Amino acid sequence: MKFIALSGSVLGNRQQPGVGPKTSAAVLSFSTLRGKALPVDSHHHRVAARLGLIPENLAVGPSHRVLEAQLPPGWEAQQVYDNHQVLMRLGKDTCTPRAPRCATCALLDLCNHAQARLAPATVAAG
Ligand code: SF4
């Protein structure tokens, strides 16, 4: 794994030919390299979109750079790793694809998606 260049920045020079951003970031973040990289899996991506951190129609690949750019520049690799783990865990356990449990979600007050989803339906007066 020494072939992966580590620049010390979140974006870094980690992209390798034929390897996507999620895999590259996962290798850096999850291995003993413990590099500063943000993997975005489908759970992380769904939560980020629902929270309005990324546009709903932004694909997983390009969402890496958008989400990485939002991280505090002074964060260490462990904090970046924790950020991914928290959002991924939230997506698996609470913010599920078909039936998010918004009523019990700690982020309910910050989530426009949930506010719209839970708002009382407006019925056109006839
Ligand atoms: S409030 Fe609902 S939609 Fe928003 S992050 Fe939580 S579970 Fe997901």
DSSP secondary structure string for all residues of 51-116? HTSS-TT--HHHHHHHHHHHS-TT--HHHHHHHHHHHHHHHHHTS-SS---GGG-TTGGG-HHHHH
- Residue 95 maps to which CATH number? 1.10.1670.10
Q: Is the CB of 43 under 6 A from ligand 1?
A: no
**Position 101 in a domain:** yes
pTM score of the predicted model:
0.80
**Position 13 in a domain:** no
Point out the ligand 1 atom lying closest to the alpha carbon of residue 111: 4
Ligand 1: centre distance to CA 106 (Å): 8
**Position 6 in a domain:** no
89: domain range? Answer: 21-118
**Position 14 in a domain:** no
Per-residue model confidence as pLDDT tens digits over 71-116: 999 999 999 999 999 999 999 999 999 999 999 999 999 998 999 9
**Position 10 in a domain:** no
**Position 16 in a domain:** no
Number of domains in the chain: 1
Backbone angles phi, psi at 79, to 5 degrees: -70, -40
The tokens of 83 are what? 């950020």
Q: Is the CB of 107 under 6 A from ligand 1?
A: yes
What is the C-alpha to C-alpha distance for residues 116 and 123, in angstroms, rounded to an integer? 15
**Position 11 in a domain:** no
**Position 37 in a domain:** yes
Ligand 1: centre distance to CA 23 (Å): 26
Per-residue model confidence as pLDDT tens digits over 5-64: 333 444 455 566 777 888 888 888 888 888 899 999 999 999 999 999 999 999 999 999
